[in-house]
Structure 1
Amino acid sequence: MSLSKSSEIKLRDMKVPEDYEQLTSLLNMIDPGSTTAQSIEEEDRQIPTVSNLKMNEDGLLAGFGRTRVVAEDDKGQIIGYGASFRAPWVEPGNLGSVFCVHPDFRRKGIGGKILAHLENWANEHHASVLSSIVMDWIDDSLPFVQNRGFVVDAHIFDLELDLNQFNNAKYGDTVEQVIQSGIQLTTLADLTRVETETELYELCVETAKDNPGQYSSLPPFEQWRKEFLPEANSRKEWVFLAIDGDRLIGVSQLFSTEDEGVLYTNYTGILKEYRGRGIAKALKLRSIEAAMKAGAHTLTTDSEEKNAPMQLINRSLGYIPGKGHYRILKKLRK
């Protein structure tokens, strides 16, 4: 798109649905293929239009609310975007945020204006913490936020496995040893118990508690189910489970992606008392086998830098690390 760098820039509230197309173009310029106008619109349909932010009995921000702004030049071209938001299940006091600026307009104070607006909105609602993310592959993104009082909470990066080069037979003993130890490996599709999805939710809640990549609590069951088992890109036979007796103790799950031949490992978690026994690796091997049978040539996932056990598993399977992002936090109130 043709842009005039000398244009006067202003912030205004996002217009729905008028801004969908331009916002999509901006986001995809920064991170190609990251979104569509349809997906933004669909997400908006799921979110209440009326804010109900309030302070709870402990004096911490609760409820739902958000603000969204765009930076626009005098020709009406959107060259920046920012949003701050809160969902009811997020830890009391916390607000999330996202922001970005067109590459041609960085270092001109636009990002600072957007971030200042989001922080002012957070302070007006007496938030305790403002969280966000910055990409580790965008030059100067981390110093930009550190100079404005943010600190790094986590570094999460992508990993990629070339399935055309993967030798599944090399790891056959790993799966067999887990089975011989009395652990059953199956899939969600193979279980008929009505309560299985509830048990799976409880497993994810428990395993997320000490996952360095997990920031806030999981949403309530119905919302979690929409996110964890979306009809568009999940299958019950791609939810690989480990069971000890009648107890669900581990999970690893695949998603399809918009890229043909590429699948994504959405989540892997093992109950604390069962870790170190090769169960996570066995589940991931089952998922790799399923991905190969489905015709995939690449398997992707992501992992937090400090999650040493999962890093070890992924590297041992041949995953190669790629770009990622920093999760950043700024304390606004004690």
Structure 2
Amino acid sequence: MSAANLQEEDKRIPLKDNTLLNESNLFIGFCRNRIVAIDDDQNIIGYASSWRAPWTESGVICSTLIVSPKYRDKRVGKELLNHLECWGREMKADFLISEVPDHLNDSVSFIEMNGYKKERHVWQSTLDLPTFDEKINGSIIEEVNIRGITFASLSEMDVKTVKTPLYKLFKQTVKDNPAMNDDENSLPSLEDGSNEFLANSNIAIIAFSESRIVGMTILIPKADGELYNEWTGVDKEFRGQKISLALKLKSIQTAKASRYNKKCTDNDSLNKAMISVNQKLGYISVPGGHFVVSKYIKVKSD
């Protein structure tokens, strides 16, 4: 955790808390709470933070917990965790969730001993573009074209004419991403969502059936010639036609033509369909994944 991380977190959540219970009596809105642990010399030896953003799943608070290695096994982490859970209960949250690096066995053991359960495994994989062999996937793009599906880059289109249909596709496909909340009331607005996905610096490949938008993949340029695959989604009515695979192949062609060296993407153990697509393309998993863990913290009423 660095000052830059905290500053970036601040940008994503409004400074003033705004929380309420929805019609299902679940905690929604946005808020945050931070606490540090200090030693006798006023040095910071631990840090804990809880927060929820408008797009967080209803009833849930997210959290971060860090303790200096020197002070582990001295109840510092336990006390910080107790604080987060008490605050979560005060806010009327149902679950506290967090992410634990999959290679830190002591951290995984600590969180499990405190009642947290692994929900899913998340990790990143990369694709080396200079050595990518397009022949591996044969004539997938041509096969999809024969079925009437065409592809175009967002840079070739008038963004104003596709903003609304792309946003509608996002709202439909967001339910397929285990990391996202499918409560429409917590999704970003048309304007905010469009601005994020359709930023000028991004690369977007759109799939059409005649004039209807049926799929998209969004790429975000990173440092050192790398592209991050932010989103790939296909309309439910058009699935099973290898459109997502074709979209990713088109994005690879675009990336290579623009002389990018590498593509990277995140994988979620609950999103098996997209894991399969990435494996077919030859993505290689890299170290540094994490487990998403959760605990029910709400006090049961009599």
Structure 2 length-normalised TM: 0.87
Residue 174 (structure 1) aligned with residue 143 (structure 2): no
| SS of 2:274 mapped into structure 1 | helix
Are the structure 2 counterparts of residues 320 and 42 from structure 1 closer, same or farther at C-alpha, using a change threshold of 3 Å?
A: closer
Match of 1:305 in 2: 269
| SS of 1:62 mapped into structure 2 | strand
1:89–1:220 CA contact under 8 A, matched in 2? no
Residue 220 (structure 1) aligned with residue 189 (structure 2): yes
Residue 293 (structure 1) aligned with residue 263 (structure 2): no
Residue 274 (structure 1) aligned with residue 255 (structure 2): no
Equivalent residue for 1:112, pick from 59, 66, 78? 78
Quick one: which amino acid aligns to residue 175 of structure 1? I
Quick one: which amino acid aligns to residue 27 of structure 2? L
Q: CA RMSD in A?
A: 2.3
Identity in percent: 38
5+ residue gaps, structure 2, are none
Match of 1:133 in 2: 99
- C-alpha distance in 2, partners of 1:108/1:58? 40
| SS of 2:130 mapped into structure 1 | helix
Match of 1:327 in 2: 292
| SS of 1:295 mapped into structure 2 | coil
Q: After the TM superposition, which residues 200-219 of structure 1 pair with which residues of structure 2 at under 5 Å, given as runs?
A: 200-215=166-181, 217=183, 218-219=187-188
Equivalent residue for 1:158, pick from 108, 120, 124? 124
5+ residue gaps, structure 1, are 1-22, 25-36
State the Cα distance separating 1:295 from its structure 2 match.
2.1
- C-alpha distance in 2, partners of 1:101/1:268? 36
| SS of 1:112 mapped into structure 2 | helix
Match of 2:214 in 1: 249
- C-alpha distance in 2, partners of 1:55/1:317? 44
State the Cα distance separating 1:62 from its structure 2 match.
2.7
Q: After the TM superposition, which residues 232-243 of structure 1 pair with which residues of structure 2 at under 5 Å, given as runs?
A: 234-235=201-202, 238-243=203-208
1:213–1:303 CA contact under 8 A, matched in 2? no
Quick one: which amino acid aligns to residue 235 of structure 2? L
State the Cα distance separating 1:142 from its structure 2 match.
2.3
- C-alpha distance in 2, partners of 1:207/1:83? 30
Q: State the number of aligned residues.
A: 295
State the Cα distance separating 1:264 from its structure 2 match.
1.1
Between 1:272-281 and 1:214-223, the stretch displaced more is: 214-223
Q: How big is each residue's C-alpha offset from its partner over 1:46-77, in whole Å with a ceiling of 9 and x where there is no partner?
A: 53222222334543323321101223334444
Residue 314 (structure 1) aligned with residue 278 (structure 2): yes
- C-alpha distance in 1, partners of 2:114/2:5? 31
Quick one: which amino acid aligns to residue 209 of structure 2? D
Equivalent residue for 1:191, pick from 153, 157, 177? 157
- C-alpha distance in 2, partners of 1:89/1:175? 34
- C-alpha distance in 2, partners of 1:256/1:98? 27
2:13–2:31 CA contact under 8 A, matched in 1? no
Are the structure 2 counterparts of residues 100 and 93 from structure 1 closer, same or farther at C-alpha, using a change threshold of 3 Å?
A: same
| SS of 2:252 mapped into structure 1 | helix
- C-alpha distance in 2, partners of 1:104/1:266? 37
| SS of 2:177 mapped into structure 1 | coil
- C-alpha distance in 1, partners of 2:56/2:178? 16
State the Cα distance separating 1:213 from its structure 2 match.
4.1
Q: After the TM superposition, which residues 40-189 of structure 1 pair with which residues of structure 2 at under 5 Å, given as runs?
A: 40-189=6-155
- C-alpha distance in 1, partners of 2:70/2:255? 40
2:89–2:297 CA contact under 8 A, matched in 1? yes
Match of 1:261 in 2: 225
2:174–2:182 CA contact under 8 A, matched in 1? no
- C-alpha distance in 2, partners of 1:181/1:263? 29
Quick one: which amino acid aligns to residue 96 of structure 2? L
Structure 1 length-normalised TM: 0.80
Q: How big is each residue's C-alpha offset from its partner over 1:200-237, in whole Å with a ceiling of 9 and x where there is no partner?
A: 12211211213334355433333333543455xx32xx
Are the structure 2 counterparts of residues 265 and 46 from structure 1 closer, same or farther at C-alpha, using a change threshold of 3 Å?
A: closer
1:251–1:283 CA contact under 8 A, matched in 2? yes
- C-alpha distance in 2, partners of 1:110/1:227? 39
